[in-house]
A and B are shown apart, each in its own frame.
Chain A
Amino acid sequence: MRLRLALELLSLFALAVLIAVVPRFVSSFTAYEIATVGMYFIALLGLSILTGYSGQISLGHGAFMAIGGYTTAVLSVDGIYGHQIRDVWTIPIAGVVAGVAGLLVGIPALRLSGLYLALITFGLAVAFRQIPLKFDHFLGGTSGKVLSLLTTPFGLSAAPNHWIYYLTWGIAFVLLVVAWLFVRGKPGRTLKAIRDSEIAAVSSGISLARYKTLAFALSAFYAGVAGSLYAIARGFMNPDVFPVVLSVYLVAALALGGVDSFLGLILGASAIYVLINRSADVTHWLDHLPAVNLDPQRPGMPDVIFGAVLIVVLILLPTGVGGALRRLFGPLTTRLYSKS
Chain B
Amino acid sequence: MKALLLSLLAGGILVSAAGARPLATPGVSSSEIRIGSSVPLSGEAAIAGNVARGIDAYFKYVNAKGGVFGRKLKFTYLDDGYDPGRAVNNTIRLVQQEQVFAMFSSLGTSNNLAVRKLLNDAKVPQLFVSSGATTFGRDGKKYPWTIGYIPPYSEEGAIYGQYVVKKIKKPKIAVLYQDDDYGRDLYAGLRRGLGKKVGAIVSKVAYDPTSADVQPQVTQLKASKANVLMIFAFGKFSLQAFNAVSRLGWKPQIFVNDVSSASALMAIVPQKAANGAISIVFGKDPAAPAWRKDKGIRLSQSILRQYGTDIGPRDLQDGYYTAGMATAYTLVDALKKAGKNLTRDGIMRAATHLNEKGNPFVLPGIVVRTTPTSRFPLTQVKLQRWSAKAWHPFGKLLSAKPR
Query: A residues bordering B, Cβ < 8 Å?
Result: 27-29, 32, 36, 129-130, 133, 141-144, 146, 148-149, 161, 234-236, 238, 240-243, 276-277, 280, 297, 299-302
Contact A29 B86, beta carbon cutoff 8 Å: no
Question: Binary interface profile of B, 8-46, with partner A (CB < 8 Å = 1, else 0)?
Answer: 000000000000000000000000000000000111001
- Judged by a CB distance under 8 angstroms, whether B209 is at the interface is yes
Interface size class of chain B, counting residues whose CB lies under 8 Å from the partner chain = 20 to 34
> Would A300 and B42 be within 8 Å (CB), given that A27-B97, A143-B181 are in contact?
yes
Chain B positions within 8 Å of A130 at CB level: 208
> Would A299 and B41 be within 8 Å (CB), given that A32-B96, A144-B110, A149-B117 are in contact?
yes
A189, chain B: closest CB distance, angstroms:
38
Contact B118 A149, beta carbon cutoff 8 Å: yes
Contact B113 A144, beta carbon cutoff 8 Å: yes
Q: How far is the CA of A29 from the CA of B90 in the complex (A)?
A: 11
Q: Choose among A28, A146, A148 the residue that contacts B114 (Cβ–Cβ < 8 A).
A: A146
Q: Residue on A with the closest CB to B184?
A: A141
- Judged by a CB distance under 8 angstroms, whether B88 is at the interface is yes
A293, chain B: closest CB distance, angstroms:
14
> Would A141 and B88 be within 8 Å (CB), given that A297-B41, A299-B46 are in contact?
no
Contact A234 B180, beta carbon cutoff 8 Å: no
Contact B79 A280, beta carbon cutoff 8 Å: yes
Q: Residue on B with the closest CB to A151?
A: B121
B30, chain A: closest CB distance, angstroms:
24
Is chain B's interface secondary structure helix, strand, loop, or mixed overall? helix
Contact A299 B84, beta carbon cutoff 8 Å: no
> Would A28 and B118 be within 8 Å (CB), given that A238-B110, A277-B86, A277-B89 are in contact?
no
> Would A144 and B114 be within 8 Å (CB), given that A29-B97, A234-B89 are in contact?
yes
- Judged by a CB distance under 8 angstroms, whether B292 is at the interface is no
B85, chain A: closest CB distance, angstroms:
4
Provide a sorted-by-A list of 11 A–B residue pairs whose CB atoms are within 8 angstroms: A141-B180, A142-B110, A146-B117, A149-B117, A236-B85, A236-B88, A236-B114, A238-B114, A240-B83, A240-B84, A302-B42
Q: How far is the CA of A32 from the CA of B85 in the complex (A)?
A: 14
Contact A142 B92, beta carbon cutoff 8 Å: no
Q: How far is the CA of A252 from the CA of B179 in the complex (A)?
A: 33
Contact B93 A29, beta carbon cutoff 8 Å: yes
- Judged by a CB distance under 8 angstroms, whether B174 is at the interface is no
A276, chain B: closest CB distance, angstroms:
6
